[in-house]
């Protein structure tokens, strides 16, 4: 069995081997730049771990693992344009370093490349792998659209938010694990439990991301701290605060949400103070724990010996205690 660190090193080496045309430079240089940024490589590692969990040969799952990472980075490149984000992993975003048109076209090319890589798998697993990959790709787009819809909606509930992050974030982690299992020939019931494990870990992962945006160290986080607050993003934290706030807290929160002009640092500090009064950090951690426990319940139902499960279990636990 390989460790997380070993799989990460393997993925990094294999990513560098991917070949892209040298011309036009403004099409391919942004792709190389994006894939070269320091990253956790969570999804390809999850795919390789899901494969090895069922006795698969990781080398036969390597190209789909790279495909998942290329697809993930394509979504980030386009998300950054929509969010007008200046930083990604503590570096300039592609649309900032080049421009939005370049980022759109380079991202489109990355999506095509991801499909080509996903097809480079065992013949007997191509159909289920591609069906799951394409289903997941559509769901990720649905999640992004829901996220954008939430910007103008006044009636977003916690359930709506969980549905959105399930599509936008969690299903790709879940699909990564299940694709690895499918390539290894896992029994259908076990592959489904692994998918549900990945889905709930993905939800908890996004909740942690939301938490870090407010309460994390921005130097470690790799993005501007409080960006969700500045943009009035309807995260779990904001929706929970709106549900709980009363009197002066609710008045203050709505003032900052509706302010047409404001000092960003002042807004972040003021809203964070309201979150602290309402114990929002703890409530978010409780929601994370709920999904983590659901994930472990599915994981325990997988009919594989405990030693083979250690790497994926370690990955899940790391995601819950991370600072970045």
Q: Report the helix count and the strand count for the chain, using DSSP H and E.
A: 17, 2
pLDDT at position 87 is 87
Average pLDDT over every residue of 311-316: 95
Average pLDDT over every residue of 212-220: 79
Backbone angles phi, psi at 260, to 5 degrees: -70, -25
Average pLDDT over every residue of 270-297: 97
Mean pLDDT estimate for the chain: 95
Of 220-229, 247-256, 300-309, the least confident: 220-229
Structure confidence at residue 319 as a pLDDT band (50, 70, 90): confident
pLDDT at position 324 is 52
Average pLDDT over every residue of 166-181: 98
Average pLDDT over every residue of 171-191: 98
Cβ-based neighbour number of residue 314 at 10 Å: 13
Give domain 4-321's CATH number out of 3.40.309.10, 1.10.600.10, 1.10.1070.20, 3.40.50.12170.
Answer: 1.10.600.10
Average pLDDT over every residue of 45-58: 98
DSSP letters spanning 126-144: HHHHHHHHHHHHHHHHHHH
Average pLDDT over every residue of 128-146: 98
DSSP letters spanning 148-173: HHHTT-S---HHHHHHHHIIIIIHHH
Percent of the chain past pLDDT 90, that is, above it, reads 91
Q: Which residue has the higher pLDDT, 231 or 63?
A: 63
Q: Which two tokens stand for residue 81?
A: 């344009």
CB 10 within 8 A of CB 319: no
Q: Distance between CA 163 and CA 157 in Å, rounded?
A: 10
Q: Distance between CA 54 and CA 77 in Å, rounded?
A: 33
Of 55-59, 129-133, 161-165, 317-321, the least confident: 317-321
Structure confidence at residue 158 as a pLDDT band (50, 70, 90): very high
Examine the pLDDT at 155 and tell me if it is beyond 90. yes
Examine the pLDDT at 222 and tell me if it is beyond 60. no
pLDDT at position 224 is 64
Structure confidence at residue 221 as a pLDDT band (50, 70, 90): low
Listed residue (321, 322, 318) closest to 45, CA to CA: 318
pLDDT at position 36 is 96
pTM of the model: 0.93
Average pLDDT over every residue of 299-306: 97
Q: State the SS3 of 228-297.
A: HHHCCCCCHHHHHHHHHCCHHHHHHHHHHHHCCCCCHHHHHHHHHHHHHHCCHHHHHHHHHHHHHHHHHH
pLDDT in tens, 56-97: 999 999 999 999 999 999 999 999 999 888 889 889 999 999
pLDDT at position 272 is 97
């Amino acid at each position: 069995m390989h460790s997380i660190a070993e799989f990460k090193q393997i993925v990094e080496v294999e990513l560098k081997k991917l070949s892209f045309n040298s011309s036009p430079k403004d099409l391919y240089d942004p792709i190389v730049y994006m894939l070269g940024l320091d990253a956790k490589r969570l999804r390809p590692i999850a795919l390789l771990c899901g494969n090895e969990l069922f006795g698969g040969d990781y080398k036969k799952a390597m190209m789909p693992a790279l495909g998942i990472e290329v697809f993930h980075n394509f979504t980030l490149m386009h998300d950054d344009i929509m969010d007008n984000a200046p930083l990604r992993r503590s570096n300039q975003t592609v649309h900032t370093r080049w421009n939005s048109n370049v980022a759109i076209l380079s991202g489109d090319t990355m999506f095509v490349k991801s499909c080509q890589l996903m097809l480079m798998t065992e013949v007997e697993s191509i159909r289920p792998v591609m069906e799951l990959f394409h289903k997941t790709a559509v769901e990720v787009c649905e999640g992004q659209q829901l996220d954008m819809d939430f910007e103008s909606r006044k009636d977003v509930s916690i359930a709506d938010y969980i549905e959105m992050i399930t599509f936008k974030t969690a299903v790709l982690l879940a699909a990564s694990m299940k694709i690895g299992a499918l390539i290894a020939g896992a029994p259908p019931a076990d592959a489904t439990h692994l998918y549900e494990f990945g889905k709930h870990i993905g939800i908890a992962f996004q909740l942690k991301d939301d938490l870090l945006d407010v309460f994390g160290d921005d130097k470690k986080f790799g993005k501007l701290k409080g960006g969700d607050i500045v943009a009035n993003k309807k995260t779990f934290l904001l929706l929970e605060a709106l549900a709980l706030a009363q009197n002066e807290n609710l008045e203050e929160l709505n003032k900052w949400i509706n302010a047409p002009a404001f000092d960003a640092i002042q807004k972040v500090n003021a809203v964070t103070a309201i979150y602290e009064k309402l114990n929002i950090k703890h409530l978010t951690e409780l929601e994370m724990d709920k999904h983590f426990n659901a994930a472990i319940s599915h994981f325990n139902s997988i009919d594989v010996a405990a030693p083979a499960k250690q790497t994926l279990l370690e990955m899940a636990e790391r995601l819950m205690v991370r600072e970045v």
